[in-house]
Every structure is written in structure tokens, then in C-alpha cells.
């Protein structure tokens, strides 16, 4: 093994951080105007790394006309996600290094008022140490860990008051990170954190991605293999650094086969794709399936609308945003979104095909048990076989023809329903059956209607 230290480590936040220069500069200007932010991103998409870089930037930032105090912590380090320890943590960060009274637990239900009283008692020490224009910028990682907690949603309302209405509002800004569950906290004017401006992580620009490659492989790659690496990973920072980490470990020559092998080794160690897929709602599922099934991985918005169930068409914009902050879409043309990376796409479509085949298996078992004439049974099974064949071995192109599968599937289910004496036993496959229906452009309640014989 090479005795040199591997320059890549995809699981270490902030390691070989690249990009987001304009976003960071815009945020620093926004702080002066009183703005606070939430950084949205999927798991392993760079939120924590970006937050750490913001902290580094602020520490090196010119203090004029105010003295900036970056204070970072993660919800993962909290022993208890309840109001008193949360406000105690914020107070300790604000008063760090000052000779001030320690935190005193407050009366239940008045934790925020106790926190403000502590700030009143600490203000003189803050002014003495940093001047009257001290500015605390709270950098809260994984804030969505609180999103489903009750009554800790009060913490969000208290944060909003601190940032917008309290007598200290001019001394505090917030940058929080979160994944999908924090969306509802910022989505509308009535949401508790609607004052936060949303920013998003995503894929690396080509130049930044090339800088990441050069950190360990300067002058050791050619344009063709670099392009292949970017197409495989979609320039996703976690995937790209993970594959490069394995390339370094194996000391392989820069060939397409070596890159594929490194990607397989990476995927064996990390189950991130399953986490991303589980975070998708129905809209994200069908939009991604539509894009992944397109010949070149891209569609116009109108084309997406024509391929998904009518009930989900109003959610396309939100779905594209979520896919983007998971690092799964190119963002060059918002009117024609495009898949970023074949590595996740191929895994996702393989998983989807496997789940659909399980549904087909359940339907075939049901057909064999139904009291229908043999001719009807064989006709239905033949239609199912056409659909299965197209799934396993697409007749044209890399992706199955959904229209062909849908037509064969509908013929089979129509025949099945014509011979129903009792509902088919599909209850254990409902979710997978819904995934099949969404992929085929059917309404999400089709398996329920089938089970109920409607």
C-alpha cells in the first residue's frame, strides 16, 4: 500500500472543501442587512462542510463595522432536545470566554424569558469585550432534528422572535442546516421560521470538481476519463470524493474500468443511496423516474407534466428543488432539468425494477388462484410476461418503455378484475404497487381500487 496519506476522506466534514464562493459572499452581505438563512440539503450533500467553511470565513472576516462572533454547534451533540438545555447551549456560546454568571435553570414554560434575562445580565460584559456592535452569528447544524419534536417547536418560534422582534435582534443572525423535514418550518408566512432565507447545496461546478481531482491526482488523468468520472458521479461532492478515495487506495491507473471498480468499492461501504431514496416523496419519485427514463436524462417541464399523474403535477417545482439539493440534478437550465450522475440513476432504476417485479410476482400468484377460466388466466399471464420482459431486457435503449409496460399491465389487470370473485391479496405489496403505478403514470390509489374490485 502507498505509504503516503490518502488526501481524500469522504466522511470527514470540510475535508477538501470546494465551491460555494458566490453563495457565501451573498450571505455575508445579507448578514449586514439583518438576514438569516437555512441551508437545505440531503444527507451527505455538504451542509455541515459548508457550515464549517462559513465559520472559518467569519473568523477571518473583517470585523468593521461590527465585531462578528461565529458560534457553531450541532443538534447531534445535544443530550436532550428540550428547551432549557437548548437555550443554555446558546447562552454558553454567546458568553464564551466572558466572566459572567453561569446559566440558571428556569421555570418550565418560560425558558426563553430566562434566556433573555441572562442576556440582559451579560450585555455589559459583551460590550466591554467586543464593543456595542457585537454580532453573534449562530451556526446550527441539523436543526431539522427538532422539526418533529413537541413542544420543542416553541424553540423555532422563540428563535424567530430573537432574530426579528427582541431587543437583541440587531445582535443575532442565524445560519441553520436541514434536510426535507425543515421545509415546512420555512415554507409559508405562518411557518415558525419563515423569516429564514433558503439556500441550497448541490453539485460542484466543473472547475471546482477538477480542483478536487487535482488534490490527489494532479497530471495523472486525461480529459476522457475525467469526463467519465464526472458523468458517473454527477460531480456530487460526496460521491466524487468517495470514488477518488478508492482510486487512491487501489493505486489504479486512470481508466474507465478502474473508476467503475472504485465506484463499486465505495458503494459497498456506504448506504447513502437508500437514505436518499427513502427521503423522496411521491412527487420526487415520479419526477426522478421520468427524467431517468428519458433517453438523455433530461426533459422540459411540460414533458414531465405529461408523464406523471395529474394529482402530482402541482408538486413538480418542489420535487425538482428537493432533487437538486440532494445533488441529483444539473442546474444549468431550470426549464429543462437533467439527471446528474449515472451512478445513482442506475442504482435507483435497478431497485425500482426489482420492486416492480415483486408486484408482478404477487399479481401472477393472484391470477393463478382466481376462479377464472383458463383462457382468461393465460391471456393475463401473457400480458404480464410482455411487461416483465421489457423490464428485464428493454427492447430499445437502456431504460424500459413505460408505455409498453403500462399497456401490457393494464390488459392483465383488466382481465384480472373481470374474473374477480374476491379481492386479490396484494395488501403486503401496497407501497411497492403504488411505486409501480406512479412509474407508469397511474394515480397513486390504483392498488386500493384493484384490491377493492373497483
Judged against a pLDDT cut of 50, whether residue 322 lies above it is answered with: yes
Domain layout of the chain by residue ranges: 21-200, 206-270, 274-340, 343-451
What are the Cα distances from residue 267, in Å, to 38, 42, 234, 261? 30, 17, 15, 10
CATH, range 21-200: 3.40.50.300
- Side by side, the strands of the sheet bearing 197-200 are 67-74, 134-141, 172-178, 37-40, 197-200
Judged against a pLDDT cut of 60, whether residue 151 lies above it is answered with: no
Judged against a pLDDT cut of 70, whether residue 133 lies above it is answered with: yes
Which one of 1.20.1260.10, 3.40.50.1370, 3.40.50.720, 1.10.10.10 gives the CATH number of domain 274-340? 1.10.10.10
Say what percent of the chain tops pLDDT 90: 54
Judged against a pLDDT cut of 60, whether residue 450 lies above it is answered with: no
pLDDT value of position 21 = 93
Mean pLDDT of 109-122: 94
Q: Which of 286, 212, 267 is nearest to 244 (CA)?
A: 212
pLDDT band at 309 (very low <50, low <70, confident <90, very high): confident
Choose between 192 and 14: higher pLDDT. Answer: 14
Give the pLDDT confidence of 356-411 residue by residue, as tens digits: 777 777 767 766 666 567 777 788 788 888 888 887 777 766 667 777 877 877 77
Judged against a pLDDT cut of 80, whether residue 194 lies above it is answered with: yes
pLDDT value of position 414 = 73
pLDDT value of position 3 = 55
Average pLDDT, the chain: 85
Choose between 263 and 372: higher pLDDT. Answer: 263
Choose between 411 and 304: higher pLDDT. Answer: 304
Give the pLDDT confidence of 201-239 residue by residue, as tens digits: 999 999 999 999 999 999 888 999 999 999 999 999 999
What are the Cα distances from residue 68, in Å, to 59, 196, 310, 391? 8, 19, 50, 58
The secondary structure of 124-166 as a DSSP string is HHHHHHH-TTEEEEEEEETGGGGTT-TTTHHHHHHHHHHHHTS
CB atoms within 10 A of CB 253: 11
Q: Which of 149, 180, 163 is nearest to 80 (CA)?
A: 149
What pTM was computed for the model? 0.84
Mean pLDDT of 86-104: 94
Give the pLDDT confidence of 158-170 residue by residue, as tens digits: 999 999 999 999 9
Amino acid at each position: 500500500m502507498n505509504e503516503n496519506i490518502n488526501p481524500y476522506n469522504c466522511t470527514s466534514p470540510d475535508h477538501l472543501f470546494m465551491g460555494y464562493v458566490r453563495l457565501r459572499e451573498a450571505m455575508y452581505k445579507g448578514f449586514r442587512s439583518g438576514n438569516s438563512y437555512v441551508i437545505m440539503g440531503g444527507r451527505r450533500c455538504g451542509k455541515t462542510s459548508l457550515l464549517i467553511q462559513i465559520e472559518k470565513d467569519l473568523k477571518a472576516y473583517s470585523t468593521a463595522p461590527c465585531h462578528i462572533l461565529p458560534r457553531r454547534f450541532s443538534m447531534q451533540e445535544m443530550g436532550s432536545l428540550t428547551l432549557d438545555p437548548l437555550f443554555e447551549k446558546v447562552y454558553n456560546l454567546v458568553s464564551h470566554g466572558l466572566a459572567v454568571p453561569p446559566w440558571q435553570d428556569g421555570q418550565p414554560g418560560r425558558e426563553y424569558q430566562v434566556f433573555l434575562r441572562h442576556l440582559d445580565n451579560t450585555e455589559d460584559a459583551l460590550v466591554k469585550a467586543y464593543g456595542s456592535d457585537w454580532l453573534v452569528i449562530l451556526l446550527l447544524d441539523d436543526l431539522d432534528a427538532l422539526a418533529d419534536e413537541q413542544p420543542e417547536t416553541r424553540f423555532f418560534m422563540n428563535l424567530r422572535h430573537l432574530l426579528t422582534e427582541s431587543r437583541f435582534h440587531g445582535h443575532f443572525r442565524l445560519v441553520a442546516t436541514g434536510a426535507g423535514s425543515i421545509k415546512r418550518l420555512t415554507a409559508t408566512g405562518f411557518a415558525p421560521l419563515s423569516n429564514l432565507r433558503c439556500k441550497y447545496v448541490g453539485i460542484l461546478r466543473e472547475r471546482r470538481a477538477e480542483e478536487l481531482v487535482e488534490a490527489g491526482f494532479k497530471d495523472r488523468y486525461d480529459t476522457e476519463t475525467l469526463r467519465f468520472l464526472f458523468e458517473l458521479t454527477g460531480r456530487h461532492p460526496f460521491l466524487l470524493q468517495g470514488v477518488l478515495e478508492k482510486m487512491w487506495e487501489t493505486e489504479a491507473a486512470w481508466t474507465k474500468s478502474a473508476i467503475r471498480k472504485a465506484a463499486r468499492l465505495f458503494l459497498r461501504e456506504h448506504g447513502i443511496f437508500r437514505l436518499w431514496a427513502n427521503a423522496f416523496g411521491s412527487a420526487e419519485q415520479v419526477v426522478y423516474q421520468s427524467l431517468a427514463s428519458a433517453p438523455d436524462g433530461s426533459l422540459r417541464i411540460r414533458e414531465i407534466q405529461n408523464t406523471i399523474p395529474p394529482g402530482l403535477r402541482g408538486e413538480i417545482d418542489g420535487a425538482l428543488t428537493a432533487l437538486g439539493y440532494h445533488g441529483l440534478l444539473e442546474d444549468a437550465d431550470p426549464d429543462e432539468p437533467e439527471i446528474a450522475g449515472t451512478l445513482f440513476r442506475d442504482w435507483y432504476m435497478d431497485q425500482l425494477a426489482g420492486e416492480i417485479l415483486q408486484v408482478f410476482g404477487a399479481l401472477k400468484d393472484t391470477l393463478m388462484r382466481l376462479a377464472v377460466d383458463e383462457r382468461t388466466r393465460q391471456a393475463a399471464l401473457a400480458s404480464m410476461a410482455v411487461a416483465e420482459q421489457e423490464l428485464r431486457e428493454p427492447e430499445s435503449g437502456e431504460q424500459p418503455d413505460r408505455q409498453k409496460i403500462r399497456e401490457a399491465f393494464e390488459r392483465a389487470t383488466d382481465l384480472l378484475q373481470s374474473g374477480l370473485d374476491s379481492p386479490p391479496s396484494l395488501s403486503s405489496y401496497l407501497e411497492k404497487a403504488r411505486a409501480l403505478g406512479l412509474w407508469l403514470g397511474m394515480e397513486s390509489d390504483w392498488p386500493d381500487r384493484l384490491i377493492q374490485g373497483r
